[in-house]
Structure 1
């Protein structure tokens, strides 16, 4: 007996964005992530192909999976005004709990379960999660990183795949669609409220006799009015109002410039002395993200970089300890980086490849 292949030319366009969601879960992984996660939950939108990944500590033994799915569906319906009508997954126990069934029934969502031992019927999620895990492992192997970074690698793969254009989606994708939607709807205030994916940053200064606080309130009213008009929702717990500086991508940005997040600096300063290559990679992974605040960073960490070479023997010398302390000291005394003023002359300093 031979199983016939499923047709590959099925039409995917009759579903609206976020109308049908595919679920799949992978794990347990070989090693726990740095956050203690063991499983990867993937949600794929049928129409746009937009993917969203979540790292879970447990599978069916806790409420992690249930809470994650419910939160994502409610976020889609409230933020994008889209109604989720169908969810499709295999017969895994974590997707067939009574709590999830009750939630689907209350929300009017039809639950579709694929045929056992025929994952081709849900090939969208199956193929996607297999691709993500495979590419993530290749990234870790190429970068010579420990397997405990699998969660960061998986999230990076998902982000990149969401940013890639797709021919069947008319050279657009789910993440790009959401970004363009927000940018388009808020285009009238983009000069004072630029957006970065699902984040909006409002900056104001004193103009025409009005104080910066008065202008800030005026800009906020315009922005919130547009959001109310187009049914865009903000999470109040994540909002910051009237601040002199705000956190953006691990840094604090204010009127005086950009400086590293004190919490990240504190973590680095409290880092104990390194004892193996794995700990060294973890330390450099965080420190290198803030390297722009340390003068001659590449030169200072050169003794540490030598320990990462393929055939290097681990030997923590006084020179290594000095380099380790120099990075900590450099971040502790990190300057505030001013935004470049293109109307004024300034110097550009770059590293030379000869030293490396």
Structure 2
């Protein structure tokens, strides 16, 4: 990444209002495929956009009286998420280019509120074969999906990852 852009991200101040949070998350979302466990890292910030009784209404709709804007300054958890995302943007991505002639492997995982996967391929480095990441995928679970059992969430992670990377097959 361009050193000037890295410096700009490093100097990015924590959001002080909902608009600044949306700008940062828009930037983050553009680069999400390069960040391992993006959905899990970004969850505390994404949750700030949700307010209202069922946490389903977006906080931007401030004209309606039943919606309260999210708390600012950021909570400790949200600030840690902000810093973790900034760190992920400024560290060099270790992704390799996909090579259709190399074997590939999909690794997935599920947590209480997110699923993710890594598409890896075998590359030779110094005479040894290593499985290295080609792409990352993550998704925050819907409320109904958080109610699934562990096995169902793990299977959902596999299905979603395979669907996401179907163009590689």
TM-score, with length taken from structure 1:
0.25
Q: More relative contact order in 1 or in 2 (CA 8 Å, sep 6+)? A: 2
Task: Looking at secondary structure, tell me which structure has more strand per residue.
Answer: 2
